[in-house]
């Protein structure tokens, strides 16, 4: 058993292996917030994020026998949520491949952000097109390399890089609009 797992979590996981509904409910409650924070980054809405999270939990309960108790649970859980979100993206957006392949490869300077809430950042990320949002999340937030993203999404490495570049450009426009609106709201002209 992995020493990183708390006895409480270990007991929940063992209960889930036995299809104990109370253990499943408690595991769900324990990891709901963490899981939702991941699925919100990929979903178009909060409702869709909850659906994706629920789908991921169903996969977790179904495949828990494959979990290696010698390893930490949280990264395994995170990976299942991300894969569920990516699979949903593939199902919903078959045409995303053409959009990704058409993207240009232009680098843009990054800017430092401060004073923006987590929810405001999520709202800005949701304004990106689904193709750009997927690459942006996987690269910037999840830390995957372009080679991994290309394999996960079934696109070329160049398409991954160019979509990240375009996502950054779109985010710059979104941020400029946000700060302009904020500036105008405060009346500091």
Per-residue model confidence as pLDDT tens digits over 114-123: 456 778 888 8
pTM for the full predicted model: 0.61
Per-residue model confidence as pLDDT tens digits over 77-121: 999 999 999 888 877 765 444 445 554 444 333 333 445 677 888
Neighbour-count burial for 33-42, b at 16+ CB within 10 Å, e otherwise: eebbebbbbb
Domains identified in the chain and CATH numbers: 7-92 (1.10.1740.10), 96-186 (1.10.10.10)
């Amino acid at each position: 058993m992995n020493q990183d797992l708390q006895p409480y979590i270990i007991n929940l996981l063992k209960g889930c292996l036995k299809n104990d509904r109370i253990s499943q409910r408690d595991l769900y409650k324990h990891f709901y917030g963490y899981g939702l924070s991941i699925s919100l980054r990929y979903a178009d809405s909060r409702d869709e994020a909850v659906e994706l999270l629920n789908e991921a939990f169903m996969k977790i309960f179904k495949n828990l026998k494959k979990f290696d108790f010698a390893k930490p649970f949280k990264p395994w859980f995170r990976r299942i949520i991300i894969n569920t979100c990516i699979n949903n993206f593939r199902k919903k957006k078959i045409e995303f491949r053409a959009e990704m392949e058409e993207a240009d490869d232009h680098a843009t300077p990054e800017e430092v952000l401060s004073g923006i809430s987590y929810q405001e950042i999520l709202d800005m990320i949701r304004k990106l097109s689904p193709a750009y949002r997927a690459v942006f999340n996987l690269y910037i937030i999840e830390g995957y390399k372009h080679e991994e993203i290309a394999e996960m999404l079934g696109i070329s490495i160049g398409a991954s890089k160019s979509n990240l570049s375009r996502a950054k450009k779109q985010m710059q426009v979104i941020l400029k609009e946000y700060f302009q609106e904020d500036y105008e709201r405060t009346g500091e002209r």
